[in-house]
């Protein structure tokens, strides 16, 4: 399958085309993010977000540009957004003495009310996850509740790593649809 053909099929929601594009460009995006973040887990998370966003917006892809360039641009923007979010959680202040600067770290520990809300939200989320097919439930459980790496999930399920990534991507998309319907 050629890239152009895969993109056209992906625009028609062809899962095989999505898998082809993911396999073909995963290393490009992951390698780009690994150089930027210097952290394998962050690079992997950003790469997954990149493909998720790209596949959601595949109809907006302009074929005047290389598909890999489009993916890397999405990836770069996601990384920039994450860095901005991290910077906004730390504020800088100076004392009356200009030489005595310090950083104030915002206390983000949850209040008792926050804990109750989180528990309620988690219960709703678990109910929504149970609406997914069992193999999607399992991959979400392994990744987000047992916090296994993709490699560990791949070994646990005895499936290729790219299948695990696509299955997780699909599971998150289906879960988002279930949540949106409410």
Going residue by residue through the chain, which has 182 residues, state the pLDDT in tens, using 9 for 90 and above.
Answer: 799 999 999 999 888 999 999 999 999 999 999 999 999 989 999 999 999 999 999 999 988 889 999 999 999 999 999 888 888 766 444 444 444 455 556 667 777 777 777 777 778 888 888 988 998 889 999 988 888 898 999 999 998 888 888 888 888 888 888 888 86
Q: CATH 1.10.10.10 region(s) of the chain?
A: 109-182
Q: Helix (H, G, I), strand (E, B), or coil: what is residue 149?
A: coil
CATH 1.10.1740.10-classified regions of the chain: 1-108
Q: Cα separation of 153 and 159, whole Å?
A: 8
Let me know how many helices (H) and strands (E) the chain has, helices first: 8, 2
Class of domain 1-108: mainly alpha
- Mapped onto helix, strand or coil, the DSSP state of residue 61 is coil
Q: What is the DSSP string of 78-101?
A: HHHHHHHHHHHTEEEEE-SSTT-E
CATH number of 109-182: 1.10.10.10
């Amino acid at each position: 399958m050629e890239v152009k053909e895969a993109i056209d099929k992906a625009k028609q929601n062809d899962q095989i085309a999505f898998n082809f594009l993911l396999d073909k460009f995963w290393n490009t995006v992951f390698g780009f993010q690994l150089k930027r973040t210097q952290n394998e887990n962050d690079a992997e998370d950003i790469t997954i977000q990149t493909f998720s966003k790209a596949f959601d917006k595949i109809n907006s892809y302009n074929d005047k540009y290389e598909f890999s360039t489009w993916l890397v641009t999405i990836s770069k923007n996601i990384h920039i957004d994450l860095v901005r979010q991290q910077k906004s959680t730390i504020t800088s202040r100076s004392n009356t003495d200009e030489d005595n600067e310090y950083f104030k770290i915002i206390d983000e520990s949850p209040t008792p009310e926050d804990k109750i809300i989180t528990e309620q939200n988690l219960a709703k989320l678990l109910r929504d996850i149970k609406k997914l097919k069992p193999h999607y439930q399992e991959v979400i459980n392994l990744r987000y509740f047992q916090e296994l790496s993709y490699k560990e999930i791949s070994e646990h399920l005895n499936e290729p790593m790219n299948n695990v990534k696509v299955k997780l991507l699909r599971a998150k998309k289906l879960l988002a649809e279930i949540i949106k319907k409410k």
